[in-house]
Amino acid sequence: MPEKVLVTREIPQAGFGPLEGFDVTVLSEAPPERGELLGAARGAEGVLSTVTEKIDGEFMDAAGEGLKVVANMAVGYDNVDVVAARERGIVVTNTPGVLDETTADVAFMLLLAAARRLGESERVLRSGRWEWWGPKLFTGPDVWGKRLGIVGLGRIGQAVARRARGFGMEIVYHNRSRKPEAEEELGARYLELDELLRTADFVSIHTPLTDETHHLIGAEELEKMRPRAVLVNTSRGPVVDEAALADALVQGRIFAAGLDVYEEEPKVHPKLLDLENAVLAPHIGSGSIETRDKMATLAAENLAAVLRGEAPKTPIKS
Ligand code: GLV
């Protein structure tokens, strides 16, 4: 009997190649309701999940004792309870390495758009309110030559730093541990978070969401930032206190923000929605055609490997 595999969302076709030969159920294009998800889990031996599904102990118990692997189609796996998985002997995998450049592109896109006021000025143009070129119209801070503070200098943070070098930016970073090789290669300088926040013109967040990084950037941290600073977040929403950020933007305590992730997706803090100095993308960081193909393929390869009794390419280390 082929092993039962549950794919929680419709994924790119490329992801189905490695799943050939298994008994595959695909749930839905939209995120499934919790009840539907738990019902569909029953008897699954492999689950290919995405960031919208909470894969916790309850889900694992609903699947039953046959569940061997949860292959998350994302590099972040804060939606998966890895302790519950370990207790049950379930392997968890993610998709690192294939989305770094693509996500860094979106971080840089948001950085440029927020600084140079693309969202706001485009809204004016589209609504027919653009009347003339103006010497002071839609001016924002330069990006080139400025200081970029990268919080979390992992693979994606480093890809952002490479882009910043092309813009002649000075790169400083904060990370749990020093990264001597990246310092050498990128000319990045380590700073304590406090000094980074006080001195950077741009701050881009690239940490995973953990208990330690929850609300890493809150009211106090925003207070330290420069009045012309721009904050970019393409990591996970809860790393930034969204209400505190909205207040800082309303009060003009920082210049602008570019966000791709939110605390309670798909909800966005209502104050942010009204702000002209917030550029808001709907969690599209890894969303290039090529990268989503690679993520689906890698997740499916990981899942298939475990069900065949082989080592998956990218297990998470917990
Ligand atoms: C997407 O958000 C990811 O973690 O890959």
pLDDT tens digit string along 209-223?
A: 999 999 999 999 999
236 is catalytic: yes
- Residues 128, 241 within the same domain: yes
- How many domains does the chain contain in total? 2
- Residues 229, 245 within the same domain: yes
- Residues 60, 195 within the same domain: no
Nearest CA to ligand 1 atom 3: 74
Residues 232, 212: Cα–Cα separation, whole Å: 19
Question: Distance from the CA of 128 to the center of ligand 1, in angstroms?
Answer: 37
- Residues 172, 110 within the same domain: yes
Residue 314, in any domain of the structure: no
Question: Distance from the CA of 295 to the center of ligand 1, in angstroms?
Answer: 9
Residues 126, 130: Cα–Cα separation, whole Å: 8
CATH number of the domain at 212, please.
Answer: 3.40.50.720
Residues 142, 119: Cα–Cα separation, whole Å: 16
- Residues 142, 78 within the same domain: no
Residue type, 126: R
What are 90's two structure tokens?
């379930």
pLDDT tens per residue, range 67-117: 999 999 999 999 999 999 999 999 999 999 999 999 999 999 999 999 999
Residue 161, in any domain of the structure: yes
Pocket (CB within 6 angstroms of ligand 1): 51, 74-76, 99, 285-286
- Residues 251, 296 within the same domain: no
Question: Distance from the CA of 198 to the center of ligand 1, in angstroms?
Answer: 29
- State whether residue 26 is helix, strand or coil: strand
- Residues 81, 108 within the same domain: no
- Residues 62, 117 within the same domain: no
- Residues 197, 275 within the same domain: yes
Q: What is the pLDDT of residue 32?
A: 98
Residues 10, 29: Cα–Cα separation, whole Å: 5
Domain coverage including residue 179: 100-280
- Residues 58, 72 within the same domain: yes
- State whether residue 141 is helix, strand or coil: coil
Residue spans of the chain under pLDDT 50: none
- Residues 208, 88 within the same domain: no
